[in-house]
Structure 1
Amino acid sequence: MAIHVEDDLAEQTVPPAGGWGSIKSVVTYLTRELVPAAALKALAVQNKTGGFMCVSCAWAKPEHPHTAEFCENGAKATAWELTSKRRTPEFFFQRSLSELESWTDHALEEGGRLTAPMRWDPATDRYVEVSWERAFDEIAAELKKIDPQQAVFYTSGRASLEASYLYQLFARAYGHNNLPDSSNMCHESTSVALPKSIGVPIGTVWLEDFRHADCILFFGQNVGVNSPRMLHDLQDARRRGVPIITFNPMVESGLKFFDNPQSPHDMLLPGHTQVSTQYLQVRPGGDIAALAGLCKYLIERDDAALADGGKRVLDTAFIAEHTHGFDDLAAVLRELDWRDIEYESGLARVDLEQAAATYAAAKAVIAVYGMGLTQHREGVSNVNMLVNLLLMRGNIGRAGAGICPVRGHSNVQGQRTVGITEKPKLAPLDKLKELYGFEPPRTPGRTTVKTCAGVIDGEVKAFIGLGGNFLRAAPDTRRLEDAWRRLRLTVQVATKLNRSHVIHGEVAYLLPCLGRSEFDRQASGLQIVTTEDSTGHMHASHAVAEPASTSLLSEVAIVAGIAQRTLPANPRLTWREWTDDYALIRDAIAKTWPEIFHDFNERMDTPGGFPRPNAARERHWKTENGKANFSVPARWTAASDDAVSHEAGVLRLVTVRSDDQFNTTVYSDEDRLRRVQGRKIVLMNGEDMADAGLEPGSLAALSTVFGDGIQREVAGLRVIRYDLPRGCLVGYFPELNALVPLGHHAKESEVPAGKSIPVRVRAMQLAGAVAS
């Protein structure tokens, strides 16, 4: 299904991103959260040099920022952190955790900031206040009782570079590499694919490249919700006449129209910035085939040009000098039937050829993508196929061109940079041994999927969560929750209450920490932390507000406090000194990775951030063969290859986030940009509804079709008719995570495949239907 915006989308079905709707939403939310004046002042310096880095998305921070360098969800994330509301020990005295299990995600978090360290009391089923010293001592005692390989240290994307460095050092000195993080949930397919294809684990695009691009491609990335500040760059590009081609099953507001809230012209005059010039509603899992169609067109046109003596379509000089494997891919694509491409992609040949012709006419092309590519069974092949397209015309290592994976959480990429990885080969273990005098473990650690499996089968005994809401974000939620209660130890470091805190192990601690925007005063004075954005630039983050409670500790202090009591004495592991002065941690990071972090303390306040070296931007390929590598996909669909998933009546479910949500944090039940109210919903194509005997407003149940013999169903979903490709369903993350089997993950990367879950739908009777 293809949409040509100029002709077919004159009548809007969704509101534009930004605009008055965004302003109204922010004002409403700030009022509801009772934010103090400090929060309003914080917004003025959010994502700016000398200010603090947003705890929401990881999009780049410009050297010359806009007046308001925050988006709607960024403002909500700041208000969420600086709210006047509090969850004190008295709140937990009044409510058992069994009662809190029945609360919604929104209700759990909405009550405000945690204020004191707490331990679960099994006699009363309540959290009770505990001193920090006792909490650290008791956690350390539990960790000393088990084999280190039975412990998992998880981190969300919000932890700073400083806290993340100490966390991975603690894990390895303790004796394991079990360091799954948000990347395992989302973008690990990128980190697996890109090193093999172009020799770096991150994208090659910097913010400045958007000013030089003359074509931009989008694949499975909803800019209006996940990185709205990028809309400024897209608006500038459109004003220069740059075509933007989007591949996405849903027509998303931010990829359709944009009203810039900072532009009087946009706010006061009719009309909107048109974002996508061609919108192709690709079938879920059909991106490999769609990309194959684009590549096939280029090869066919190039073959014709070669035969006729015309101008070549491919960058043959680049391919010859810099790449390997083109001939193998070209031979396969020449034989690939267009009918197979159309079937697998759900797109017409004429529309793919139009997109390919636009691409071929451009000199510098940026390809932006998100979890719509990475969260599939063939997520790694999705990314590799996109690299194939870029390499064919030399669109890597050129100004205004490159590959641009958009990371979700604010520092998830940075955590990987400073050692948060379950893969020993990616960690500087020999350097850690040299610097700190211990033998780091060499055994591969647990990914998110392997962590879940270890909890279910009883191999994992202890789980420490540095931020996040692992239990809610993980796949196979119901099976995992049942097993979670059998864990011996659960420790959660957090700012607000969530479901991972009310479902717990036999011994459980809830440790409240400072937010990134709050003053962190240590022995040497006010501390600064740092983060890495999606484009590989490092930024200092300066706090702007007083802490929510005098009892809060920083993430650094909590990690160091547990580590100091757990590990044997080692004069090189200076936990106390690191806590007193974070500049010493940055010095340690610089010693560990001098190529990236040399002069770290001197450079961290560079306007726009300082970049990590990126060899692929210079067309230096740090692959095994020293070349950028084309690859041939094993299959032409990224969806499940389980035989039962291809049975009649099986549809593909895509899980998405709403516009009033960030990861598992749900700000409200309204999805303004899709005009949807409530979260127990499923969006369906009208013909699929008719086949299932459903009407708008009906209740439906979804059950997973997967060959492991386990029944997975979510019932009581309200059906909404929506503009979707045939055979496609859409519902919300994390509510539908229970439908994602542990075994349904990306090959090689093990990212849970939440973008093409094979399911059946059945109608439920309205009377007496119970939502599960």
Structure 2
Amino acid sequence: MSQKRIDPETQQDPDTPYYGGPAGGWGSMEGISKVMVGQPPTAAVLDTLRRQNKPNGHMCTSCAWAKPAKPHLAEFCENGAKATIWDLDRRTCDPEVFASRTVEELRELSDHELESLGRLTHPMRFDPGTRRYVETTWDEAFAAIGATLRRMDPKSVVFYTSGRASLETSFMWQLFARMYGHNNLPDSSNMCHETTSVALKKFIGSPVGTCVLEDFDHCDLMLFFGQNTGSNSPRFLHTLQQAKQRGCTIITFNPVREAGLLRFRNPQQITQMLGGSTEISDLYLQVRPGGDMAAILGLIKRVLELETAEGGILDHGFIAEHTTGYEALKAHAEATGWDEIEALSGLSRDHLREVGTAYARSKRAIAMYGMGLTQHVRGGETLGMLVNLMLLRGNLGRLGAGISPVRGHSNVQGQRTVGISEKPELVPLDEMGRMFGFTPPRETGHTTVEAAEGVIDGSVRGFLQMGGNFAISIPDSGRVKEHWTDLDLIVNVATKLNRSHLLPGRETWLLPCLVRSEEDEQVSGPQVVSIEDSLSHIYASLGRNEPAARTLLSEPAIVAGIAKATLEPNPDVPWDDWVADYSRVRACIEALWPDKFADYERRMHEPGGFYKGNAARERRWQTESGKAEFSVPDSNSGLNRPLGQGEYTLVTLRSNDQFNTTIYGFSDRLRGLSGDRMIVLMSPAEIARAGLAEGQKVRLVCAEEDGHPRGVAGLTVTAYDLPDHCVAAYYPEVNPVIPVGLHDRMSKTPAYKGVPVRLEAM
């Protein structure tokens, strides 16, 4: 491992940009204010923020962090405020905007400029003759889409779902897909936390994390892996601050030093706004991308060393009663030398022993992780290694302990709960068939990866997306875009214009919907929807703002409109009644999942939501063995293969002014970067070794050989504090470099954080 110059006060490489201040504080206020430029907040917007993530308010469309039963005065963060202000944009992208520009002319705008055109207001149909979207009616759109779907092979059609869709919308969407005849139901979870759904299900019998908010009040150690709290889930920082103030130790493993896990200035505490802040991480280790598995194995090795030397470290009673496979893991750890662990992780054995000792001495530990752990070829095996660590000391199924993914999208976990899944075995299809009088399809559907592959090879002919920006957000987006326009049918349900909408197929529709914070008035009155957070709690969400246009429909109304035009009438499926009163949809959800949704209608209004339950939290292991399972990986590296000469591991990043493919602005404040997003970050030492210079233009090239050259040109080399053999660049700009076939082996989650690349001077 090479030595780099480190400032002893900041622990940063002083030769690279970085943000010296804390997350939160005045910087967050400034970040929010920049989004308001050109659209000062109205009283309605301010009232929406006041009620955001609180009982009788609307649940944020940004991250999926929990909503406490006793909310703070302001229960929103910088990115949550940006999302709400962006949703309630008073600018309108109406038919006149489309009449003045072809799709080719619109493509000349940046992603930020496209969304800055404002809210979509009218249903639109793409006219191939004029190369423009033209205004249509809802009746015309539904009738034409339904007619086309009836002519198509259902297996050739994909129904994609963004994580913003409510539980009610998601339930109706998956039922429509199955009644139409397929399980092609990928969603944004396929791109980020499908590794969680598959690996945790395999190892502990639960497809979701085991923690609830109360656990964070009792743990004395938190381990973070590959998660950027400051930008992706800033409200979590309140919880971390409280944990630190009562003495909890927090240790972070991440290739990039992220400000949110370094220091936090609470905007709701006057003393902090006047200059104070809270140190979050006691130790911050810049693990090499793909090196988490080896790092965690190093912690396990240290715990076993202490058990041998002292005894009383392992929870032998728990291991004997609740687990299987311990001896194989022990043998694997003992057979792996420290030299290999250091080489693969990029960390010193002294640091790993220090963390392993802290874990061994802790009473209650929580392991937190994000996409830095899941978006690798061996992400599932890495997560298995993290489960191993927690099982050694019985840190699953007890207060103040557990494993907890931090999901980045509002309701992406909840969609899976109500049937958005390509895996028919995860859905109560027998009960669904009996309830709604049809024979559900049993063939496994497409994941995101398989949907993208189907677009490329031509087997996918139709694509309906409930939100999202699929053609741009997926890996291999360059190859996918070449074939996207060959699709026979594209239906986009959206609130703002994005780049996928400007890649029309043979028949393309743009259907505008309400946002969650807008009033949804139906026959029975204003409607409530519900969402699930990343800690398995379910909440009601009520929008109160006047819709951007009276021509907008709700997502449930759009689903019902297309479904009625496509399917034969079925007296057991009252689409119109469901749209008139969403509580009737919730009654169906409760009937199909009574263990999770008992007394749904009442409990979703409770402060803090209601807990749907988790068998693993109760130490009921719904695995093949009936026990929690220790596992041994095929390799101690999370990467697909060792890097060759001149190769680096690419890590994709989102900026502080970004949510998925939504770009609010061009400031990446919390990393000390701003302006151009077409940059590639490297350590100064790597820049020198590569014979490059700061400011030089390069082409980023995929080093994975599969017969399809991939590259992104015009990136500016930028010095940054990163581990050796690593480069970083912004998502989705470098998605064309990422092969669709490079994904987690267990779940097919794309390997956005573990792609081998080369740099070519331009």
After superposition, residues 139-218 of structure 1 pair within 5 angstroms as 139-218=145-224
- Amino acid of the structure 2 residue aligned with 1:164: S
**1:20 corresponds to 2:26:** yes
Deviations 1:480-518 (A, max 9, x none): 001000000000000000011111211000000000000
**1:670 corresponds to 2:667:** yes
After superposition, residues 740-751 of structure 1 pair within 5 angstroms as 740-751=738-749
Corresponding residue for 2:569?
Answer: 569
Identical pairs, percent:
54
Most deviating of 693-702 and 325-334: 693-702
Contact 1:203/1:535, CA 8 A, preserved across alignment:
yes
Please provide the CA RMSD for this pair: 1.4
Contact 2:199/2:746, CA 8 A, preserved across alignment:
no
Match of 2:648 among 629, 646, 651: 651
In structure 1, how many angstroms separate the alpha carbons of the residues matched to 2:11 and 2:527? 52
Contact 1:36/1:83, CA 8 A, preserved across alignment:
no
Contact 2:35/2:665, CA 8 A, preserved across alignment:
no
In structure 2, how many angstroms separate the alpha carbons of the residues matched to 1:471 and 1:43? 32
1:154 match: secondary structure: strand
Match of 2:293 among 288, 298, 301: 288
Corresponding residue for 1:513?
Answer: 513
Corresponding residue for 1:770?
Answer: none
In structure 1, how many angstroms separate the alpha carbons of the residues matched to 2:7 and 2:738? 38
Contact 1:3/1:278, CA 8 A, preserved across alignment:
no
After superposition, residues 292-441 of structure 1 pair within 5 angstroms as 292-305=297-310, 311-441=311-441
Contact 1:4/1:279, CA 8 A, preserved across alignment:
no
In structure 1, how many angstroms separate the alpha carbons of the residues matched to 2:609 and 2:8? 41
1:519 match: secondary structure: coil
Contact 1:517/1:545, CA 8 A, preserved across alignment:
yes
**1:598 corresponds to 2:598:** yes
Deviations 1:449-501 (A, max 9, x none): 10011111111110000011111111101100010000000000000000111
1:268–1:8 Cα change, 3 Å: closer
2:36 match: secondary structure: helix
**1:257 corresponds to 2:275:** no
- Amino acid of the structure 1 residue aligned with 2:300: C
- Amino acid of the structure 1 residue aligned with 2:272: D
1:262–1:109 Cα change, 3 Å: same
Corresponding residue for 1:478?
Answer: 478
Contact 2:536/2:611, CA 8 A, preserved across alignment:
yes
Corresponding residue for 1:459?
Answer: 459
Match of 1:725 among 713, 723, 726: 723
Find runs of 4+ consecutive structure 1 residues off by over 4 angstroms: 1-8, 10-13
Corresponding residue for 1:61?
Answer: 67
In structure 2, how many angstroms separate the alpha carbons of the residues matched to 1:487 and 1:493? 17
2:237 match: secondary structure: helix
In structure 2, how many angstroms separate the alpha carbons of the residues matched to 1:536 and 1:102? 42
In structure 2, how many angstroms separate the alpha carbons of the residues matched to 1:300 and 1:178? 48
Corresponding residue for 2:50?
Answer: 44
- Amino acid of the structure 1 residue aligned with 2:358: T
Corresponding residue for 2:238?
Answer: 232
- Amino acid of the structure 1 residue aligned with 2:466: L
Deviations 1:234-292 (A, max 9, x none): 001111121100000010000111111111011103x4211100011000000000000
In structure 2, how many angstroms separate the alpha carbons of the residues matched to 1:720 and 1:36? 39
Corresponding residue for 1:761?
Answer: 759
Contact 2:55/2:606, CA 8 A, preserved across alignment:
yes
Deviation at 1:692, TM superposition (A): 1.9
Contact 1:4/1:278, CA 8 A, preserved across alignment:
no
**TM-score, normalised relative to structure 1:** 0.96
**TM-score, normalised relative to structure 2:** 0.98
Aligned residues: 755
Most deviating of 445-454 and 707-716: 707-716
In structure 2, how many angstroms separate the alpha carbons of the residues matched to 1:32 and 1:24? 15
- Amino acid of the structure 2 residue aligned with 1:463: F
Deviations 1:619-677 (A, max 9, x none): 11111221111000111111123xxx632111101001001100110101110111112
In structure 2, how many angstroms separate the alpha carbons of the residues matched to 1:142 and 1:260? 53
Corresponding residue for 2:109?
Answer: 103
Deviation at 1:18, TM superposition (A): 0.5
- Amino acid of the structure 2 residue aligned with 1:444: T
Deviation at 1:727, TM superposition (A): 0.6
Corresponding residue for 1:9?
Answer: 10
Most deviating of 99-108 and 81-90: 99-108
- Amino acid of the structure 1 residue aligned with 2:685: E
Contact 1:35/1:82, CA 8 A, preserved across alignment:
no
Deviations 1:175-234 (A, max 9, x none): 000000001000000001011111110000101111101000000000001100000010
- Amino acid of the structure 2 residue aligned with 1:647: G
In structure 2, how many angstroms separate the alpha carbons of the residues matched to 1:36 and 1:155? 31
Deviation at 1:31, TM superposition (A): 3.5
- Amino acid of the structure 1 residue aligned with 2:305: E
Corresponding residue for 2:658?
Answer: 661
- Amino acid of the structure 1 residue aligned with 2:114: L
In structure 2, how many angstroms separate the alpha carbons of the residues matched to 1:613 and 1:646? 43
1:152 match: secondary structure: strand
- Amino acid of the structure 2 residue aligned with 1:272: S
- Amino acid of the structure 2 residue aligned with 1:300: E
1:241–1:516 Cα change, 3 Å: same
In structure 2, how many angstroms separate the alpha carbons of the residues matched to 1:714 and 1:321? 53
Contact 1:6/1:277, CA 8 A, preserved across alignment:
no
Corresponding residue for 2:537?
Answer: 537
Corresponding residue for 1:273?
Answer: 278
Deviations 1:433-458 (A, max 9, x none): 11011000000000001001111111
Deviations 1:549-603 (A, max 9, x none): 0000000000001001100111001101001000000001001101111111111
Deviation at 1:28, TM superposition (A): 2.6
Deviation at 1:10, TM superposition (A): 6.4
Match of 1:738 among 727, 736, 758: 736
- Amino acid of the structure 2 residue aligned with 1:277: D
**1:701 corresponds to 2:699:** yes
In structure 1, how many angstroms separate the alpha carbons of the residues matched to 2:315 and 2:417? 33
In structure 1, how many angstroms separate the alpha carbons of the residues matched to 2:503 and 2:324? 51
In structure 2, how many angstroms separate the alpha carbons of the residues matched to 1:637 and 1:547? 50
Match of 1:75 among 81, 86, 92: 81
Most deviating of 703-712 and 555-564: 703-712
Deviation at 1:415, TM superposition (A): 0.3
In structure 1, how many angstroms separate the alpha carbons of the residues matched to 2:302 and 2:34? 49
Deviation at 1:32, TM superposition (A): 3.2
Deviation at 1:102, TM superposition (A): 2.1
In structure 1, how many angstroms separate the alpha carbons of the residues matched to 2:82 and 2:544? 16
Deviations 1:676-696 (A, max 9, x none): 122000110112101222222
Contact 2:370/2:406, CA 8 A, preserved across alignment:
yes
Corresponding residue for 1:504?
Answer: 504
In structure 2, how many angstroms separate the alpha carbons of the residues matched to 1:756 and 1:664? 20
- Amino acid of the structure 2 residue aligned with 1:378: R
In structure 1, how many angstroms separate the alpha carbons of the residues matched to 2:717 and 2:668? 15
2:404 match: secondary structure: strand
1:32 match: secondary structure: coil
Gapped regions of structure 1 (runs ≥ 5): 306-310, 765-772
Deviations 1:324-357 (A, max 9, x none): 1001100111111110000000000000000111
Deviation at 1:33, TM superposition (A): 3.2
